[in-house]
Chain A
Amino acid sequence: MKFEAKAVLLVVGVAAFMFLGTYFTMVVPLTDETLYTPTKDAKAYTELELKGKQIYQREGCWYCHTQQVRNLLEETYRYGMGEEETFKRFGVRALIQAPPSQPGEYVYDKPHLLGTRRVGPDLARVGGKYDNTWQLNHLRDPRSTSPGSIMPAYTWLFDQRGQPTQEAIALVAYLQKLGTNIKWREEGVEQVKKLQAKNLTPGEPRTLAAKEEQP
């Protein structure tokens, strides 16, 4: 084959192969409405939360924290609510699983922050797990709340007296929003309470969302 013929074959062939793979793995998913339809309880970010998301991006939080509870049993337990937490906050003793992440929760994320690496824990369900004071203390001095943590201290989000700046407040507002596009904490506790009211022992309590999500 002549050089010119080969060069033409190369360009045409490479372009065709690239188009083929891109079409099926990139374009076809765009037509899947479950990927762009918000979940029932999904809300767009408030101005403060959006500012917090920008700080999360600026500081590269997403390089060490993923935002996706993978569809694995162990992750629904790890990122769910333990008995102590439910008792302290809701007066109920139960293990409540976190639902695996669903596409509809991310519709307002632009850019997405799914992440790829967990130097620290996943944050997809962190909203509501700790109070604001804990979050601020943790950002200012991670080892004060979590001994052994290797997270850097974000001292520049606080003034010289250690008071949070607007940036720290926005960042915490964003963190508290994460995972709340599904009301899994409230619904999980409610379900446990219902069972208890009927005097039934919740054997393995599950949230509604977790049940729906199992493929």
Chain B
Amino acid sequence: MTIQHEDTSARWFIYTSIAFFLVTILVGLTMAVKFVYPDFLGGIPALGFGRIRVIHTNGVLFGWLLAANMGLAYYVVPRLAGTKLLSEKLGLITLAIWTFIILAAVVTFASGDTQAREYLELNWWLDVLVTIAWVLFAINIFGTIAKRKHQQMYVSLWYVMGTVFWTAILWIVGNLPVYSGVNDANLNWWFGHNAVGLIFTPMGVAMAYYFIQKATGNPLYSHKLSIIGFWTIAFLYIWNGAHHIIFGPIPTWLQTVAILFSVSLLIPVWTVITNFFGTLRGKWAQGNYVVKFLLAGTVFYLLTCFQGPMHSLRSVNQIVSKTDWIVGHAHMAVFGAFSFFAIAGIYYALPNILKRPVFSDKLGEWHFWLSFVGFLGFAVSLWIGGFIQGLQWMDHTISFLDTVKAMAPYYVVRMFSGILMVGAQLIFAYNVYKTVRSSTTEVQPALA
């Protein structure tokens, strides 16, 4: 266990992802302000709501979350394999391409250059670059695993390997511009749902499996459960895309299949959650902010994955679909669960990479509590408002405009909660920056 990991790729991927995190959630906050003041930054085409929304969604998903998870994979995989990363240079080339893609995406989206399919908006030449970057990432991950020293395949490795495969297939097939109309919508949601289910979920779960164990010092609760969770995710997720178009112009049987499989998702989720809680046992109270992020992330993962199957039920879908409720739900998955896991991973990995402690534990605590409270304000206001609006839509004598006006107070709460969420991440970035630039004498962190 005396391998000297260089971690250059891991480090720089993490720094870049945090920078994109800040920028793209600021864009998110701008959108939240526009809900309250529709003329805010008006008259500028590049800052129109429809143009910055895509910068926010793609930026947060690919610029922050996926990039952060790639950085953490460069950290986790060599340690689980007991060997150095195949090539730090290849990792840095991957980062250069990735950064170029995100910057180019911001420029093209702001200029209105979009393929207009949700989460697949990138222009085709950027799609090609993403594919190339992903292949380079795959080479580095599989190459590192191939020259492993450890024979045990820890569950995080299962998930990272699975994600490399799923992402490649989803990305290539999802981007095929061959269908039109309803079939195109079906393909779009096949991708859109599985981008969450088979890219961000397995990556987030991989990181949580690794960092919960490390940060608590507890052994994995159950290896068997982790394997059951993996295979049920692999089997069940891919059938769910159509639950985004329930009551829509697609065949009823397709909707019903999606509903059945959506409800079945409770199996893998509760399996994984049981394992997380089992591994976190005894560490709830004395945990620092790293454990808090992992614990809160686990709770939000449980809740968001309880909501999901319930939303797919026709009686619930009728009310909540297309409302702001879903926006709260989506943010619970991407921010509350998977971003929290990635943040915890960064707080744990960075001191090990830099061989010095985090600049300020106090700021870490502030980061957690502001993120947590900000997110709850964001989500709960949208859940209440969205549910009421959904009920109002069911009465056609209430004009649509009146249902929009009824949302006003919830949008105000959401905006202020957004300020907390952004403020929290500013603290995060500052804390990481000071950790990186600090001249603290080198100390070997206790947990390596």
State the A residues within 8 Å of B (CB): 2-3, 6-7, 10-11, 13-15, 17-18, 20-22, 24-26, 29-30, 32, 34-36, 57-64, 66, 68, 70-72, 74-75, 77-78, 100-103, 105-114, 116-121, 142-143, 146-156, 215
> Which residues of chain B from 247 to 279 have a CB within 8 Å of any chain A CB?
247-252, 254, 257-258, 261
Most buried by A among B34, B48, B51, B112: B48
Stretch from B68-76, B179-187, B205-213, B335-343 contacting the other chain: B179-187
Q: Which 10 A-B pairs have the closest CB atoms?
A: A60-B50, A21-B238, A106-B181, A70-B247, A110-B180, A58-B112, A57-B116, A77-B396, A78-B396, A112-B185
A103 touches B182 (CB 8 A): yes
- The answer to whether A110 and B184 touch (CB under 8 A), given A26-B190, A57-B114, is yes
Query: Of the candidates B165, B183, B238, which one forms a contact with A36 in the assembled complex, judged by CB atoms under 8 Å apart?
Result: B183
Chain B residues whose C-beta falls within 8 Å of the C-beta of A120 in the assembled complex: 400, 404
- The answer to whether A60 and B49 touch (CB under 8 A), given A25-B186, A117-B322, A215-B252, is yes
Chain A residues whose C-beta falls within 8 Å of the C-beta of B400 in the assembled complex: 78, 120-121
CB-CB contacts of B153-194 with A at 8 A, as 1s and 0s? 100001001100110010001000101111111111010000
Closest chain-B Cβ to A138's Cβ sits at a distance in Å of: 12
A149 touches B49 (CB 8 A): no
Query: Of the candidates B38, B53, B114, B250, which one forms a contact with A58 in the assembled complex, judged by CB atoms under 8 Å apart?
Result: B114
Chain B residues whose C-beta falls within 8 Å of the C-beta of A100 in the assembled complex: 247, 249
Chain A residues whose C-beta falls within 8 Å of the C-beta of B241 in the assembled complex: 25-26
- The answer to whether A60 and B51 touch (CB under 8 A), given A21-B239, A25-B190, A149-B404, is yes
B395 CB-CB contact with A under 8 Å: yes
A75 and B235 alpha carbons, distance in the complex (Å): 35
Chain A residues whose C-beta falls within 8 Å of the C-beta of B177 in the assembled complex: 110-111
A22 touches B190 (CB 8 A): yes
CB-CB contacts of B8-49 with A at 8 A, as 1s and 0s? 000000000000000000000000001100110011010011
A31 and B340 alpha carbons, distance in the complex (Å): 42
- The answer to whether A13 and B234 touch (CB under 8 A), given A78-B393, A109-B181, is yes
B245 touches A113 (CB 8 A): no
| Other 4 A-B pairs with CB < 8 A, given A71-B248, A112-B182 | A24-B257, A74-B396, A106-B182, A110-B184
B131 CB-CB contact with A under 8 Å: no
- The answer to whether A111 and B184 touch (CB under 8 A), given A18-B234, A150-B404, A153-B43, is yes
A12 and B226 alpha carbons, distance in the complex (Å): 19
Closest chain-A Cβ to B4's Cβ sits at a distance in Å of: 24
B231 CB-CB contact with A under 8 Å: yes
B288 CB-CB contact with A under 8 Å: no
A17 and B113 alpha carbons, distance in the complex (Å): 35
Chain B residues whose C-beta falls within 8 Å of the C-beta of A152 in the assembled complex: 34, 38-39, 42, 48-49
B405 CB-CB contact with A under 8 Å: yes
A118 and B261 alpha carbons, distance in the complex (Å): 26
A64 and B400 alpha carbons, distance in the complex (Å): 13
A103 touches B250 (CB 8 A): yes
Query: Of the candidates A36, A121, A156, which one forms a contact with B181 in the assembled complex, judged by CB atoms under 8 Å apart?
Result: A36
B43 touches A68 (CB 8 A): no
Chain A residues whose C-beta falls within 8 Å of the C-beta of B435 in the assembled complex: none
CB-CB contacts of B217-241 with A at 8 A, as 1s and 0s? 0000000000000010011011101
A89 and B183 alpha carbons, distance in the complex (Å): 36
A117 and B258 alpha carbons, distance in the complex (Å): 19
Nearest-CB residue, chain B, relative to A151: B38
B180 touches A107 (CB 8 A): yes
A114 and B239 alpha carbons, distance in the complex (Å): 20
A3 touches B183 (CB 8 A): no
B180 touches A106 (CB 8 A): yes
A68 touches B248 (CB 8 A): yes
25 A-B pairs in the complex with CB atoms less than 8 angstroms apart? A3-B153, A11-B161, A18-B234, A21-B238, A25-B254, A60-B49, A60-B51, A63-B54, A66-B322, A71-B248, A74-B393, A75-B393, A77-B396, A103-B250, A105-B249, A106-B249, A110-B179, A116-B322, A117-B322, A117-B326, A119-B404, A120-B400, A149-B401, A149-B404, A150-B38
Query: Of the candidates B169, B185, B234, B238, which one forms a contact with A25 in the assembled complex, judged by CB atoms under 8 Å apart?
Result: B238
A112 touches B180 (CB 8 A): yes
A5 and B326 alpha carbons, distance in the complex (Å): 41
B99 CB-CB contact with A under 8 Å: no
Nearest-CB residue, chain A, relative to B145: A7
Closest chain-A Cβ to B246's Cβ sits at a distance in Å of: 8
B116 touches A59 (CB 8 A): no
Closest chain-A Cβ to B263's Cβ sits at a distance in Å of: 15
A10 and B254 alpha carbons, distance in the complex (Å): 28
- The answer to whether A6 and B114 touch (CB under 8 A), given A25-B186, A29-B186, A114-B245, is no
